């Protein structure tokens, strides 16, 4: 019997699947797609709605050493924007996150992902001017890509897909988070661009 690959999904609402159910989150759908292709993958998804990089560091990173993942995804930053974190502070937090993952799971493949363009959602108006939010999201995603590359992680740029979904209003009933259909599209894109195996 083969040893299952171990997938740890770190993040916030966009990783746990807020707006739908956890079994329809992108990590859960991705695992099902991989299993259909014959991969034996065990998922741990500790992501929590509302989490910032601070929360991820405090509450999720300890699982890296205990779960012993072979694959880690990192998608975090939207709530840092909401709380007024600047881009360079966000960069420092990502450096800590990548450093800890590399230290505690040195052989794991790490895939970093952008946050979606939630400035296009109806609920974004409650957080400020949508054009300003869009520029900040783009800046944060640039920082996330730079830090992933610096750490030797893979960057899978789902942002064009995510932005198109936002323009099509593929949103959950809360008017902010992606719909189950949108999360499934992320998973399908990841299934074709990433492997559950270490490189």
Instruction: Evaluate whether residue 196 is within a structural domain.
Output: no
Instruction: Evaluate whether residue 197 is within a structural domain.
Output: no
SS3 assignment, position 188: helix
Task: Evaluate if residue 196 carries a pLDDT over 70.
Answer: no
Which residues, 6+ apart, have CB-to-CB distance to 142 below 8 Å?
Answer: none
What average pLDDT does range 117-125 have in this prediction? Answer: 94
* pLDDT value for 198: 39
* pLDDT value for 4: 76
Instruction: Evaluate whether residue 198 is within a structural domain.
Output: no
Contact (Cβ atoms closer than 8 angstroms) between residue 67 and residue 8: yes
Contact (Cβ atoms closer than 8 angstroms) between residue 99 and residue 53: no
Instruction: Evaluate whether residue 52 is within a structural domain.
Output: yes
* pTM for the model: 0.95
What does the pLDDT look like over 129-163, one tens digit per residue? 999 999 999 999 999 999 999 999 999 999 999 99
Specify the residue for token string 């800046």: 139
Which residues, 6+ apart, have CB-to-CB distance to 106 below 8 Å?
Answer: none
- Total domains in the chain come to 1
Q: What is the CATH number of the domain that holds 168?
A: 3.40.50.1110
- What's the pLDDT band for 195 if we cut at 50, 70, 90? low
């Amino acid at each position: 019997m083969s040893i299952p690959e171990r997938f740890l999904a770190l993040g916030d609402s966009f990783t746990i699947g807020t707006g739908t159910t956890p079994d329809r989150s992108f990590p859960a759908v991705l695992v099902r797609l991989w299993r259909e292709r014959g991969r034996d993958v065990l998922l741990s998804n500790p992501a929590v709605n509302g989490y910032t990089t601070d929360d991820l560091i405090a509450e999720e990173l300890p699982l890296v050493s205990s779960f012993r993942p072979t694959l880690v995804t990192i998608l975090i930053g939207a709530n840092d924007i909401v709380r007024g974190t600047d881009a360079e502070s966000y960069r420092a937090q990502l450096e800590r996150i990548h450093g800890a993952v590399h230290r505690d799971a040195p052989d794991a493949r790490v895939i970093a992902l952008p946050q979606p363009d939630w400035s296009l959602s109806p609920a974004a108006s409650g957080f400020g001017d949508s054009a300003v939010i869009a520029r900040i999201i783009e800046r944060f995603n640039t920082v996330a890509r730079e830090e992933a590359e610096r750490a030797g992680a893979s960057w899978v740029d789902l942002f064009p897909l995510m932005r198109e979904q936002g323009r099509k209003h593929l949103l959950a009933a809360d008017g902010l988070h992606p719909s189950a259909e949108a999360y499934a599209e992320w998973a399908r894109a990841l299934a074709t661009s990433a492997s559950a195996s270490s490189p």
